[in-house]
């Protein structure tokens, strides 16, 4: 900037003011513009940060960088924040709660301006609340009891409810579900939807039909085999995330089960996959781009010190798409 000032024949203060949107004589504007181009001037983010106490950096913490659901959201967030000049430091904690805390501390030590995170299910609210006092925190996908920061969720309960209801409408009564880990936030919600629709339609639940996986491919594969090997297997199965959906399709192929004749299936999350599978797969899709967009906008708003409606809770709608993998059961 010193060089620019010298080249343009004005003071440093004038350059700084102009570059930050201040008013300057037209003559000087031109001079400075020219100098900036000529000298290829770039602001020193460190020096600016030292003064403004802002790093223009947002930390993102997710459970895994190899989970398509999270990385799709992160990709959206990253691109939106970058458009506003913000860097994102993306950390994954590999589903390890100890690592989660480490990454959080790391981001804090790097003086990020805000944090967007998908917390582990046992993350404690005190820590989050404490962090949230110093800088904006936006939670994604999972809420934490007693936490008072912004959060962007999907309506897992209704999504699950609607999916199972579609099966019921088509005459299914023995409906299996492959859930995520028993204490997991979204897993609990999705199971709740399944429970409620059974209650509402007065259908007794069979414990054997409710399986808990770990949201990984292999458990989807294993649990669908367990379900289909029951003495009285389900006529339809609802699988509650992408990885397990993938696994269950492998299982169906392995057992040579005809879909939808011998089994109706509704999967989760990946539209692309749904189109490729034959018969075309019915799924519940979460609006990943919208989730990312909402989280990014919310964060940008907070970064501008706009704390209106804090804490904000967004419940985005998931969408259910019924395709050929579901058939109507003949009564009797």
Q: Which chain residues interact with a second copy by CB under 8 A?
A: 42-47, 49-50, 55, 64-66, 68, 71-72, 74-75, 78-79, 82, 87-92, 94, 103, 106, 108-111, 217-218, 221, 247, 250, 253-254, 272-273, 275-278
With a CB cutoff of 8 Å and minimum separation 6, the contacts of 200 are none
47 binds DNA (CB under 7 A): yes
304 binds DNA (CB under 7 A): no
Give which of 247, 227, 246 is closest to 237, Cα–Cα.
227
List the structure tokens of 271: 């539209």
What are the start-end ranges of the E strands in the chain? Answer: 57-62, 87-92, 114-117, 137-140, 150-154, 175-179, 210-212, 236-239, 264-268, 282-285, 313-316, 319-321
Question: Is 18 or 238 the residue whose CB approaches DNA more closely?
Answer: 18
Q: Binds 122, which of DNA, a second copy, none (CB < 5 to 8 A, cut-off by type)?
A: none
Shortest gap between Cβ of 54 and a second copy (angstroms)? Answer: 9
**First-to-last CA distance in the chain?**
83
Shortest gap between Cβ of 10 and DNA (angstroms)? Answer: 4
Question: Is 13 or 255 the residue whose CB approaches DNA more closely?
Answer: 13
Contact 157, 130 (CB under 8 A): no
Question: Is 46 or 276 the residue whose CB approaches DNA more closely?
Answer: 46
Contact 98, 72 (CB under 8 A): no
Q: Binding DNA by CB under 7 A: which of 16, 71, 72, 75? A: 16
61 binds DNA (CB under 7 A): no
14 binds DNA (CB under 7 A): yes
The helix/strand/coil state of 287 is coil
310 binds DNA (CB under 7 A): no
109 binds DNA (CB under 7 A): no
List the structure tokens of 39: 């000298």
The span from the CA of 249 to the CA of 46, in Å, is 51
- For 66-110, give the DSSP string: T-HHHHHHHHHHHHHHHHTT-EEEEEE-TT-HHHHHHHHHHHHHT
The span from the CA of 140 to the CA of 117, in Å, is 6
Question: Is 255 or 313 the residue whose CB approaches a second copy more closely?
Answer: 255
Question: Is 49 or 171 the residue whose CB approaches DNA more closely?
Answer: 49
Question: Is 35 or 277 the residue whose CB approaches DNA more closely?
Answer: 35
Q: Which residues bind DNA (CB under 7 A)?
A: 1-2, 10-14, 16-17, 19-20, 22-25, 27-28, 41-44, 47-48, 50-52
């Amino acid at each position: 900037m010193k060089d620019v000032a010298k080249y343009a024949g004005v003071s440093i203060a004038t350059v700084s003011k102009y570059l930050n949107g201040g008013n300057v004589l037209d003559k000087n504007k031109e001079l400075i513009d020219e100098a900036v181009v000529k000298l290829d001037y770039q602001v020193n983010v460190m020096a600016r940060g030292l003064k403004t106490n802002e790093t223009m950096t947002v930390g993102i913490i997710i459970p895994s960088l190899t989970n398509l659901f999270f990385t799709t959201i992160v990709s959206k967030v990253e691109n939106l924040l970058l458009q506003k000049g913000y860097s994102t430091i993306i950390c994954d904690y590999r589903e390890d709660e100890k690592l989660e805390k480490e990454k959080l501390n790391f981001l804090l030590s790097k003086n990020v301006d805000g944090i967007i995170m998908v917390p582990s299910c046992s993350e404690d609210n005190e820590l989050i609340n404490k962090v949230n006092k110093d800088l904006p925190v936006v939670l994604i996908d999972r809420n934490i009891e007693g936490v008072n920061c912004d959060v962007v969720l999907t309506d897992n309960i209704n999504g699950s409810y609607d999916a199972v209801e579609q099966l019921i409408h088509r005459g299914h009564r023995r409906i299996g579900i492959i859930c995520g880990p028993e204490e997991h936030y979204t897993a609990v919600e999705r199971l709740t939807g399944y429970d409620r629709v059974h209650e509402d339609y007065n259908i007794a639940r069979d414990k054997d039909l409710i399986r808990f996986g770990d949201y990984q491919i292999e458990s989807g594969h294993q649990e669908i085999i367990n379900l289909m090997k029951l003495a009285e297997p389900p006529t339809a199965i609802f699988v509650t995330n992408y990885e397990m959906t993938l696994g269950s399709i492998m299982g169906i192929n392995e057992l040579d089960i005809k879909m939808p004749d011998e089994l109706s299936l509704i999967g989760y999350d990946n539209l692309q996959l749904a189109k490729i599978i034959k018969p075309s797969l019915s799924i519940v899709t979460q609006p990943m781009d919208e989730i990312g967009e909402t989280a990014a906008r919310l964060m940008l708003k907070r970064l501008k010190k706009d704390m209106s409606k804090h804490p904000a809770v967004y419940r985005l709608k998931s969408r259910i798409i019924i395709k050929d993998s579901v058939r109507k059961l003949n009564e009797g």
